[in-house]
Structure 1
């Protein structure tokens, strides 16, 4: 993954959800949206993926208007179509309908000049799960600190 430039990451998704299968999807962008993404003016915090008419759309993703654009700048939080294969869309749709999963964006990056988004099939964590994962993270941090101090 040499040519990938990470633009934005959804850290809240890792905290709120247990992430399972991950997929790479393209984005259908308009006008100056790609310029704003390349400048890092994108936020994934409250976004999610929904399905309608056999298509996948990302909702709630905020892309700031391009500051050097004109009156034809894009709408900041419009629904954007995800470019996935039909079998991937069907698989994700079935998982959200039957098993109670949700699909959340994990990160957005530039790959060979194209904006790509990594989405994941996720299930919400309970409060005790969040505490447990925080304890594990703290323990790992302490171990790394101790190892660093020994060398």
Structure 2
């Protein structure tokens, strides 16, 4: 990512469990106390996902902890959040999710020019043998790089 970008959280489990075909950068509609919790990094999204409802994309199962300093004006930590995308992107996403069995998974949250952004992935679930193949491939790459470094010294 480029300048002015501060990563809040990354969903490593998503890249392990799903094959990511496309990614989209989208804004997220938040309340003031939710932004404060984002700045403190008090979010949890291990099983969160997004869905398209009536031409709008909604993020589910994202838990943003309540801010202890905001008294009665606090937000509901489990409310669904609206994601901000262009209309043509939403149509393209809706077509793929409906027809081909894709799922929308948030891959990371970050600040870009002071605004919270979500990297949303259009993903397909991996089978167990796919996961094992990825692990095997990673181990082979690690061995090759070790041997290469050993030969340099």
**TM-score, normalised via structure 1 length:** 0.94
Query: Quick one: structure 1 residues 138 and 86, their matched pair in 2 at CA, closer, same or farther if it must change by over 3 Å?
Result: same
Alignment partner, residue 114 of structure 1: 115
Alignment partner, residue 45 of structure 1: 46
Alignment partner, residue 29 of structure 2: 28
Residue 128 of structure 1 and its aligned partner are, at CA, apart by 0.2
Q: Where is the helix percentage greater, Structure 1 or Structure 2?
A: 2
Alignment partner, residue 82 of structure 2: 81
Alignment partner, residue 7 of structure 1: 8
Paired residues for 1:87-126 under 5 Å: 87-126=88-127
Q: Any stretches of 5+ residues in structure 1 without a counterpart?
A: none
Which of 71-80 and 116-125 deviates more?
A: 71-80
**TM-score, normalised via structure 2 length:** 0.93
Provide, for residues 94-137 of structure 1, a one-character-per-residue CA deviation record: whole Å limited to 9, x for no partner: 10001111111100000000000000111000110000001111
Q: Any stretches of 5+ residues in structure 2 without a counterpart?
A: none
Cα RMSD of the aligned pairs, angstroms, is: 1.2
Query: Quick one: structure 1 residues 143 and 68, their matched pair in 2 at CA, closer, same or farther if it must change by over 3 Å?
Result: farther
Across the two proteins, how many residue pairs are aligned to each other? 151
